[in-house]
């Protein structure tokens, strides 16, 4: 992977991700959590930590190192990154227990709302010199009975061919490789973009340092992010991966599923094409 002088630092992307998280949360106006619920869940989390300390015989040195690291995660704005990489997949697993339709996956820290709305056949914004294999991503949105969902929205975002996301890397223009594609009357869409590269957790921040110190790897396989939504249907937040892609079997975020793997085929002109249909359940 190439890095340039303009490569974003962990602090840049962490700070932006924390700001984006706060802005989105403010819009959604979450309800209160009851004292009983807080006591039950936080009590369990603390009990898990206490167990680990007893079983691993954690020392004072280790406890203070953990405290220093936690402070750095906050200062670097990396709580969204850390939690989405190491925790969100289980929250999604629990949420998915009673869901029909296309499999979901984690949202991750790099979603930005209110992107450019595009027609059903559209190209995501790219730079004139955009690198990467041209990808045509097409399909249909249907309900669980097989009926087309006219006008469904495909809110799509992905990394560029160096693995960076617009809005979280200062060298990329706002809105790059992001858009809200509105499907046609038959629920069909055809999106032109480029294939993203695998994503590497920034190695210069606290999450990257933890991964390195533990001897783990910092990679996610290349992926497209999508939220597919339509009035009267449950929105699906998911990701699509690429057959044969590196890290597909060892995603650091454990967010891959076999149902979410694309097999792009060459179109003969340097582009590849992949079809994927989405199934939404009524609310």
Q: Residues interacting with Fe ion, by CB under 5 A?
A: 108
85 binds, among ligand MBD, Fe ion, none (CB under 5 to 8 A by kind): ligand MBD
106 binds, among ligand MBD, Fe ion, none (CB under 5 to 8 A by kind): ligand MBD
Q: What is d(CA 227, CA 237) in angstroms, rounded to the nearest whole number?
A: 4
DSSP state of 112: -
User: Residue 199 or residue 233: which is nearer to ligand MBD going by CB?
Assistant: 199
- Closest approach, Cβ 245 to Fe ion, in A, equals 13
Residue in this structure with the two tokens 């930590």, named with its chain if needed: 49
Give me the residue whose beta carbon is nearest to ligand MBD: 108
- Closest approach, Cβ 35 to ligand MBD, in A, equals 31
User: Residue 109 or residue 187: which is nearer to ligand MBD going by CB?
Assistant: 109
Question: Containing H/E element for 142?
Answer: strand 134-143
Q: What is d(CA 196, CA 164) in angstroms, rounded to the nearest whole number?
A: 9
User: Residue 143 or residue 155: which is nearer to ligand MBD going by CB?
Assistant: 155
- Closest approach, Cβ 222 to ligand MBD, in A, equals 10
Q: In this structure, is the dihedral angle defined by the CA atoms of residues 131, 158, 9 and 23, taken in order, positive or negative?
A: positive
User: Residue 85 or residue 183: which is nearer to ligand MBD going by CB?
Assistant: 85
Distance of CA 275 to the CA centre of its chain: 20
253 binds, among ligand MBD, Fe ion, none (CB under 5 to 8 A by kind): ligand MBD
Give me the residue whose beta carbon is nearest to Fe ion: 108
Please provide the size of the chain in residues: 283
User: Residue 108 or residue 167: which is nearer to Fe ion going by CB?
Assistant: 108
CA distances from 126 to 17, 158, 177, 186 (A): 22, 12, 6, 27
DSSP per position, 35-85: HHHHHHHHHHHHHHHHHHHHHHT--HHHHHHHHHHHHHHHHTT-HHHHHHH
User: Residue 80 or residue 108: which is nearer to Fe ion going by CB?
Assistant: 108
- Closest approach, Cβ 236 to ligand MBD, in A, equals 16
* Chain positions contacting ligand MBD, by CB under 6 A: 81, 84-85, 106, 108-110, 199, 220, 253, 255
Residue ranges of alpha helices (H) inside the chain are 10-28, 35-56, 60-75, 79-86, 88-95, 206-214
């Amino acid at each position: 992977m190439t890095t340039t002088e303009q490569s974003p630092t962990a602090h840049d992307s962490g700070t932006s991700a924390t700001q984006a998280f706060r802005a989105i949360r403010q819009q959604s106006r979450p309800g209160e959590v009851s004292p009983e619920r807080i006591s039950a869940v936080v009590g369990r989390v603390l009990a898990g930590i206490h167990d680990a300390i007893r079983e691993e015989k954690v020392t004072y040195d280790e406890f203070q190192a953990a405290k220093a690291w936690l402070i750095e995660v906050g200062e670097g704005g990396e709580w969204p990154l850390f939690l989405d990489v190491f925790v969100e997949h289980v929250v999604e697993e629990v949420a998915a227990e009673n869901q029909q339709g296309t499999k979901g996956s984690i949202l991750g820290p790099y979603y930005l709302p209110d992107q450019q709305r595009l027609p059903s056949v559209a190209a995501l914004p790219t730079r004139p010199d955009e690198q990467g294999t041209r990808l045509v991503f097409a399909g249909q949105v249907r309900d669980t009975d097989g009926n087309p969902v006219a006008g469904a929205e495909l809110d799509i975002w992905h990394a560029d061919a160096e693995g960076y996301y617009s809005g979280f890397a200062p060298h990329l223009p706002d809105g790059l490789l992001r858009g809200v594609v509105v499907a046609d009357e038959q629920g069909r869409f055809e999106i032109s973009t480029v294939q993203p590269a695998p994503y590497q957790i920034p190695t210069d921040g606290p999450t990257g340092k933890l991964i390195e110190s533990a001897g783990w790897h910092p990679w996610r396989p290349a992926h497209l992010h999508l939220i597919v939504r339509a009035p009267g249907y449950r929105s699906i937040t998911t990701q699509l991966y690429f057959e044969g892609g590196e890290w597909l079997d060892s995603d650091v975020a454990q967010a891959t599923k076999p149902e979410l793997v694309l097999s792009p085929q060459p179109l003969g002109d340097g582009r590849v094409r992949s079809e994927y249909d989405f199934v939404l359940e009524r609310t």
